[in-house]
Structure 1
Amino acid sequence: MSQQFVFWRTSEHLDARAVYEALMEGEPVVGLDLLDLDAAEQALIGVLPDWTVEARRADGGEQTMLFSPDQRASIDAGYSPESVTVSCSWMSEEQYNLVIQAMATLHLPLYDPQIDERFDSVPI
């Protein structure tokens, strides 16, 4: 089972579904903040310290790939200047929440496309 989570920051009131669709098409979205993608990658890696890092932006790649110790669960994170998209496979709800909290510490609220909901205020 997999889930996709998308994180971006804005001070404007934007239609979350329209933002998501534009980001998935690779289109720029006016009103989104530019992100510190290195910090986002470090937060993802740091929240799951026992996971194996298979790929990382810091090494010149375009994505971050992590695998659980048993190699069953995984994260594939992609980046644009304004967003972080995290695809999670075979993870527990607790692990999903770790990812969401890691992004929340960077003030990057969650958009969950599975339920078409943006969570603008997430406790840190």
Structure 2
Amino acid sequence: MSMDLNFWKYKENTAHNHETVYQTACCDGEIMEVLEILPIDDILKKVTNTFSDWTIQDGGKDFEKKGHGAFQIFTTSQIVRFDCYGMQGDDMNTLIDILLDFGCPLYDPQISTRFDSGTDR
């Protein structure tokens, strides 16, 4: 089973349209006025350090571990998307926790839900 996990941070006092952000920023890779610039290098470094026992290729964008599945990372200056293949829930939760540390809650397009702990407007 594959799924994608998507993360971004809205600028303050902007309208929130998760599905539009998902399609425009996460799928099409376009920059959006309503989104903050993220510390992508710091995020990638934390992912690499956390998953250091996985096989890492493509300059730190492809991760694979036997029995755990695989994931690829797509980023712009504003979003992080993990395309996950056959991954265990615990490993995906680790990715979610890493991005939460950077103030970016999960958007799950499979169920059109952003898990923002009630912080969204």
Note whether the superposition's TM-score is higher than 0.5.
yes
Counterpart position of 1:115: 111
Moved runs in structure 1, 4+ residues, more than 2 A? none
Question: 2:95: which partner in 1?
Answer: 99
TM-score, scaled to structure 1: 0.84
Counterpart of 2:62?
Answer: 65
CA RMSD of aligned residues (A): 1.7
Please give the per-residue CA displacement for 1:12-43, whole angstroms capped at 9, x wherever unaligned: 34110011111112222111000111111112
Segments of structure 2 that go 5 or more residues without pairing to the other structure are none
Match of 2:86 among 74, 86, 90: 90
Cα contact 1:43–1:103 (8 A) shared by 2: no
Give how far 1:47 is off. 2.2
Structure 2 equivalent of residue 43 of structure 1: 46
- Tell me how many residue pairs correspond in the alignment: 115
What is the match of residue 30 of structure 1? 33
Question: Relative to structure 1, is the Cα distance of residues 93 and 71 closer, same or farther in structure 2, using a 3 angstrom cutoff?
Answer: closer
What TM-score comes out, normalization by structure 2 length?
Answer: 0.86
Taking only the aligned residue pairs, the percentage that are identical comes to 26
> Displacement of 1:50 after TM fit?
1.1
